[in-house]
Structure 1
């Protein structure tokens, strides 16, 4: 019966043992971030949290191309690639358009190594001209 309390203690302490060491690294992608009050990328140990990247285009395919090219550039700054993307959240003002752009999006993921993902349709994004905004959580190692 003593095993159960030890297991519970181990589970409760587990997050503390795996917490990243050292300060958070904040990486600004543009001057507008300070004006609005957020940071484009935060590195916490081996984890990278990429704020939503807004994407414009004449078509959803063009917006997806723009967005994922920008995101790929961010990954490259940290020596990473799309196979390391753990979680993706996409906000769009046009879900049907995003669905038609799935083939375009899929080209950005190495060998079909897709992240866990949530796609959400919204009435408007912060940048009213953007068709979608994508945020990523990335494991660097």
Structure 2
């Protein structure tokens, strides 16, 4: 038991102190974020946490193209692409329409490199006109 304790203690001591001191980077995507009280993107080392990007359109196909187009621009800002998206959460007010828009969504992920994903239907989003909101977790390296 003592050897195990020493091993664990040694492993804990081997973690560089600087790794724990790397500050989070907060990036605004729009001026409204400060009014509401959130950051559009938070970078924690090599991980990006992208807040939900809300979208609307004439129909769900248009909303999907708008959301994923905006998310792609965010990735490009950090030198990333869709293959680095590890987790997606999509909130929609119309799941049936989102399911029909799957081909439009899949077009944004090159070579079938899809993230882990959860899709949730909600009664409304922050802005009542929005049909879809998508958030991503992205690995930069």
Q: Shared fold by TM > 0.5?
A: yes
Is this contact kept in 2: 1:20–1:44, CA < 8 A? Answer: no
Q: Give the RMSD, CA atoms, in angstroms.
A: 2.2
Deviations, residues 55-109 of structure 1 (Å, cap 9, x unaligned) = 0101100000000000000000000000000000000000000000000000000
**Deviation above 3 Å: which 4+ runs of structure 1?**
1-11
Matches within 5 A, 1:97-108: 97-108=97-108
Is this contact kept in 2: 1:20–1:45, CA < 8 A? Answer: no
Matches within 5 A, 1:24-103: 24-103=24-103
C-alpha separation between the residues in 1 aligned to 2:113 and 2:128?
31
Aligned twin of 2:139: 139
Please report how far the alpha carbon of residue 2 of structure 1 lies from its aligned counterpart in structure 2 after TM superposition: 6.6
Is this contact kept in 2: 1:25–1:43, CA < 8 A? Answer: yes
Aligned twin of 2:119: 119
C-alpha separation between the residues in 1 aligned to 2:20 and 2:79?
19
> Number of residues paired by the alignment?
139
Please report how far the alpha carbon of residue 127 of structure 1 lies from its aligned counterpart in structure 2 after TM superposition: 1.1
C-alpha separation between the residues in 2 aligned to 1:35 and 1:110?
36
Gaps of at least 5 residues in structure 2 are none
Larger radius of gyration: 2
- TM-score normalised by structure 1 residue count: 0.89
Please report how far the alpha carbon of residue 21 of structure 1 lies from its aligned counterpart in structure 2 after TM superposition: 4.7
Gaps of at least 5 residues in structure 1 are none
- TM-score normalised by structure 2 residue count: 0.89
